Amino acid sequence: MKEGAVVPLQLRQADAGNKPRPAIALRRLPGFGDWLVCGVSRQLHQFVPGFDEKVEASDSDFRSSGLTGPSLIRLSFLQSVPLSSIMGSIGSISAERHKRLLANLARHLAP
């Protein structure tokens, strides 16, 4: 699996349930090899400018992402998941978009 992959997962929801949805593989974590992922949503109204990323049909990496419609990569929807829970890959985002996501997250976490 590669960073920037769009992967189908059962992600924990705010109501403690699980829901199948795509996620972006941000980075493999040290230790046990789990992955830091962020959820993808079709709820574009939840967009946080300067933090999240919108993926729209006009974007150069839309087709390669495997997403079926305009979507929101939500950096505030982070989870650590074991590699064994990742059910393959449906596509990938561009290296540039992946770098922007990591930079947005790092900027937010920096003191």
Residue 59 has pLDDT above 90, yes or no: yes
- Percentage of the chain surpassing pLDDT 90? 78
For each of the domains in the chain, give its residue range(s) and CATH number, in order of start.
Answer: 5-109 (2.30.30.110)
Per-residue pLDDT tens over the stretch 7-18: 999 877 666 667
pTM of the model: 0.91
Q: What are the b/e assignments for 63-95, b being 16+ CB within 10 Å?
A: eebbbeeebbbbbebeeebeeeebeebebbbbe
